[in-house]
Structure 1
Amino acid sequence: MSRRITTFARRALVIGLALGAAACAGAPAEPVARVWMTSGDRSRLLSEQAPLRFEPSSAATGPAVAIDPRRQFQEMVGFGAAVTDASAYLIQTKLADDQRDALLRELFGREDGGLGFSFTRVTIGASDFSLDHYSLADTPDPTLASFSTARMEEYVFPTVRQAVAINPDLKVMASPWSAPGWMKTTGSMIQGQLKPEFYPTYAEYFRRYIDSAAAQGVPTDYVSIQNEPDFEPDSYPGMRWGPEGRAAFVGQHLGPLFRDAGIGTKILDWDHNWDLPQQPLTMLADERARSFTAGVAWHCYGGDVSAQSQVHDAWPDKDVFFTECSGGEWTPDFAESFTWTMKNLIIGSTEHWARGVLMWNLALDENYGPHAGGCGNCRGVVKIDSRTGAIERNQEYYAFGHASRFVRPGARRVATAEPEGLQAVAFLNPDGERVLIVLNESAAAVAFEIREGLRAAAAELPAQTAATYVWGPAG
């Protein structure tokens, strides 16, 4: 037998001696990872599995998902869904008090397996998911004498207030679908553009909304100036607003007004699809507008999630948020839509710098409503049966739960490396806890290692299954 010791054997000997010495000195035990899985066949639905134990390991012997907590990226705001008029109406009118409390604690709380949603969105006035079309100042008057948030005080504000009481970390974003019709070229909330002479009035409209919401106990942490500004829907409120016009509005009106009024609400541009990154790039090229713009918001209905990185790379000091995507009966198959959501939103959008990730409606009824125009087969994160109050948890509930339940506000995304066939993203919680989310969208199970430094845990992920692994540093 050769007297030569191979490089691998020499490394193993050194590691073994070091570990032996550490054990003798009472070294801390290697961590144990808790595991939750959801499978496309619904055999597991955020179900806790047997834990995995990390063991000392010098090098991967097969496929491995590795995390490096030393390489840190964006700080997370959180995950959630929009409290639309429709969602709030159902929660407030179709559930008994105890049912309402239980559902909101399940969605926004962390106790007893709650999802811990810490990010939400409300509409300033009506969207397609409202009972009817309205603005907050329907009477033509540049002094905004008729301004009122009374309609939002019926259902939306009480729902958000209760969510904030359950989760004080909850951050709220607000978006209008249209300016009041009398400010627009169509004279209607449907289609048209905002007339430039009303830019100062519309900036004041935003200020009054923020002040009125605050008086009702509803914060406005972020605001986008227009939902989907490159689209003019023909059956519900909407408004086309090009990047040059948005830049003029933010740079010359809204931004200075917020500054002078001491309003800390952060302004987001775009709030539309991945397929037109040149739109926010054009808006941000305006120096004055850029100085008042905190970041860019994105939707999923066109293009590829990598557009988020394209704009982030151009303006790395600007935040990235993913603010709308809806499930729907165009993809009724649980496995297909669950894995798509995991791949593109939970993993994809955060890997491409999103600090917050939102689905569209928090809740809809058995008829995919109520709605006034627009989508007739969209899914909510949960379904509330308007006749019985029964709750059904949809695929988006489980996809978002894989992140929201475990990734705390203030967590940092950290570097990962994964083998072909798996997608992964990882976070470091403020207390040092590691959270790793892995998706196997293939038709066969995959065995792999989870690695952090010189330790590894053996894992296996069934076909069309996502898992969240949670562990602490060696303790």
Structure 2
Amino acid sequence: MISKIKIALLLLLIIAFLFPSLYIRPVNASNDPVKVWFSSEYKPKDHGWYTNNWESNITFKLSPQPDLFFTSPDEELLPTITVIPSIQYQTIEGIGTSLEESTIFNLSKMSSEVRSTVLRELFDRQNGIGLSLIRICFGSSDFTARDFYTYDDLPKGNTDSELQYFTIQKDKDYNIISTLQGILQIDNNIKVFASPWSPPAWMKSPETLIGGRLKSEWIPTLAKYYRKAIQAYQQEGIPIYAMTLQNEPLYEPPDYPGCFVSPEQERDLAKALSRELKNNQLKTKLWIYDHTFFDWYAYITRWGLNAWSYVNTVFSDPEAYQAVDGVAFHDYGGEPSEMTRIRNTYPEKGMYFTERSVWGIEGAARIIQYFRNWAKTYVAWVTMLDSNKQPEKWTFAPDPTILIQNAQNPDYYWHTPEYYLLGQFSKFILPGAKRIYTNSGNPDALSNVAFLNPDNTIVVVVVNATNSTQKFRILTSMGQIKTIIPAKTVATYKWKYEPTIKDIISLRSRANNLFVSVEASENYYLKASQSQITLNTKFEVIPLDNGRIALKSIVNNKFVSAENAGSLPLVANRESIGNWEIFDVEILERENDIALKSLANNKYVCAENAGKDPLIANRDKVKGAWEAFELILANR
């Protein structure tokens, strides 16, 4: 006679075989440690940094902390950061800084030994902060020690339609080329992208590098000019990964190089330059706009021009749409959510953050917002001025740079806190990392962002913007870690990912506060009907990249589908994944809340009739509680 214990064990084995995801132990099986580093602010943005080396006063400087270990989740009420690696968003292409001529000028004053040390501190991942992306200027910007120049400068009244006088010799003379070559010897995977501040003056009206507007008749020649610049750098062993077509095209600066380029002109330039690149077997990516999120001055004085209208004008042309790889942004006005707005309209195009230095904990929280709004890059602006805030020709007084050089002793320099705060991101988030789901957090308290690296490690960056130590936990399908973060501190947590541990979730409708369930009695339609988590309310998350997932019901092992291209309710009845079974996961402002948008009809999932009817993808936008769902890890 078989004992009751043996029968019970046999039943458990059968259930485990049918539903393996339920029986994966939600604790890191190898018990690998979670590594932790802290950095803190000190007198952020204070111009006293230029004349005072306060570096020793910084409490944490990428300081390692004791290892943490995953434990089984408990019920203690704590602020919780939920990490779900199976929900994956944009791929990170690099985190870096600019090497405008001001920084190169100051580097060139150093001895070769000290200069080598500085470059390794910036670009070596083991011995420095591992910056992986460099922005250079094609010609002069406002941060330079030299007279303003381009690669084809002529006496006023002359033109050069054949570009016979084109040369990058000044970039060689000013040590720009040699500095970049030295950096690529440290890591030849570092990407270099370029931005022009102005075309040659003879292509503009009036005929000056400072301010002015591009003349449309010179667009084909300007495309050849940029192609020649890319080729010239490539011949020096410096591939140009990408190029923005014009730095801040809506602004005509009064005292340094710049150029107004209308969206119609940028559209035509993108097409012309794309043809030049293809005809010469060049793979440089093209990024448009390269301006702030929202520019009130441009909006008022340029007939309502802003990021949205500018990008739409370019992308409304099919050839230009194909020519352009992404949209570049600065942060001198408006909000990072503009990137999400444009990305959601053009999901095939990358969003790139290309210019803005930020300071202190507030700045670190701002970087988090860039990444949470689809930025594939972060690039600081101006790396090292000296203690006299030189050299520069900008309109205003620059705030402290990442590094500061003593004007009287060029080999003596110091790091501002921003070096270490930037390193909390750049040292640990690898190119090729994918941003992964975390709940939104509170930018005024604990904000966060998380990534899955190509080496299968997870990195979570957390910012404590408050004036007190905060206790919180990080919750994953592997278990939880409880920890604290000091006031005004950035913490980075890194651990090995266990891909065999599946992410199992439940969704609670905000319409009626009930869990979404697969209703076996109603042909497996999905309905917000259960007061607690059960087998019927659990779904395995299947990662599909770019913020998209499929959901597999645990109760019947079928994929959830927006039936009949979304015209019928959601149902768990599919054996495989097609467009009807794919959903975008959009993170909402309320803690832990998401919206699901069906790829079948590009409409949001709704708990129809306040949850009394089955879920259906039939809403054009998220209007309120009916389209909002609380996402809860349900591995236990």
TM-score (normalizing by structure 2):
0.67
Partner of 1:385: 406
Answer with 223-232 or 145-154: which moved more. 145-154
C-alpha offsets along residues 155-190 of structure 1, whole Å, 9 cap, x if unaligned?
211111111111122111101000011110110001
From 444, 449, 466, the counterpart of 1:425? 449
Q: CA deviation at 1:31?
A: 2.7
After TM superposition, which residue ranges in structure 1, 4 or more long, deviate above 6 angstroms? Answer: none
From 109, 114, 129, the counterpart of 1:115? 129
Partner of 2:82: 66
Instruction: Report whether the alignment pairs 1:37 with 2:38.
Output: yes
Q: CA deviation at 1:445?
A: 1.6
Instruction: Report whether the alignment pairs 1:273 with 2:292.
Output: yes
- Determine the C-alpha separation between the residues in 1 that align with 2:246 and 2:103: 20
Partner of 2:426: 404
Q: CA deviation at 1:119?
A: 0.5
Answer with 459-468 or 117-126: which moved more. 459-468
Partner of 1:144: 163
- Determine the C-alpha separation between the residues in 2 that align with 1:72 and 1:58: 26
Partner of 1:472: 496
Partner of 1:250: 270
- Determine the C-alpha separation between the residues in 1 that align with 2:340 and 2:40: 29
Structure 1 contact 58–454 (Cα < 8 Å) conserved = no
Partner of 1:8: none
Q: CA deviation at 1:277?
A: 2.3
- Determine the C-alpha separation between the residues in 1 that align with 2:394 and 2:83: 46
Which letter maps to 2:487?
Answer: A
Q: CA deviation at 1:302?
A: 0.8
Partner of 1:96: 111
- Determine the C-alpha separation between the residues in 2 that align with 1:245 and 1:35: 49
Q: CA deviation at 1:451?
A: 1.3
Q: CA deviation at 1:22?
A: 9.2
Q: CA deviation at 1:74?
A: 1.2
Q: CA deviation at 1:340?
A: 2.2
Q: SS state of the match for residue 326, structure 1?
A: coil
Structure 1 contact 57–454 (Cα < 8 Å) conserved = no
After superposition, the Cα gap between the structure-2 partners of 1:262 and 1:474, relative to the gap in structure 1 and judged at 3 Å, is: closer
- Determine the C-alpha separation between the residues in 2 that align with 1:264 and 1:72: 26
Instruction: Report whether the alignment pairs 1:80 with 2:96.
Output: yes
Which letter maps to 1:49?
Answer: Q
Which letter maps to 1:384?
Answer: Q
- Determine the C-alpha separation between the residues in 1 that align with 2:286 and 2:151: 20
Aligned counterparts, 1:357-368, within 5 A: 357-368=378-389
Instruction: Report whether the alignment pairs 1:413 with 2:435.
Output: yes
Which letter maps to 2:138?
Answer: I
After superposition, the Cα gap between the structure-2 partners of 1:379 and 1:280, relative to the gap in structure 1 and judged at 3 Å, is: farther
Structure 1 contact 123–175 (Cα < 8 Å) conserved = yes
CA RMSD of aligned residues (A): 2.1
TM-score (normalizing by structure 1):
0.89
Q: SS state of the match for residue 379, structure 1?
A: coil
Kindly, what percent of the aligned residue pairs are identical?
30
After superposition, the Cα gap between the structure-2 partners of 1:291 and 1:376, relative to the gap in structure 1 and judged at 3 Å, is: same
Name the count of aligned residue pairs: 442
- Determine the C-alpha separation between the residues in 2 that align with 1:34 and 1:304: 32
Q: SS state of the match for residue 220, structure 1?
A: coil
Partner of 2:218: 198
Structure 2 contact 355–379 (Cα < 8 Å) conserved = yes
Structure 2 contact 61–417 (Cα < 8 Å) conserved = no
Partner of 2:472: 448
After superposition, the Cα gap between the structure-2 partners of 1:443 and 1:378, relative to the gap in structure 1 and judged at 3 Å, is: closer
Structure 1 contact 31–474 (Cα < 8 Å) conserved = no
C-alpha offsets along residues 421-459 of structure 1, whole Å, 9 cap, x if unaligned?
311000111111110000110122210011111501111
Structure 1 contact 132–372 (Cα < 8 Å) conserved = no
Q: CA deviation at 1:58?
A: 5.7
Structure showing greater relative contact order (alpha-carbon pairs closer than 8 Å, 6 or more residues apart): 1
Aligned counterparts, 1:167-182, within 5 A: 167-182=187-202
- Determine the C-alpha separation between the residues in 2 that align with 1:135 and 1:455: 57
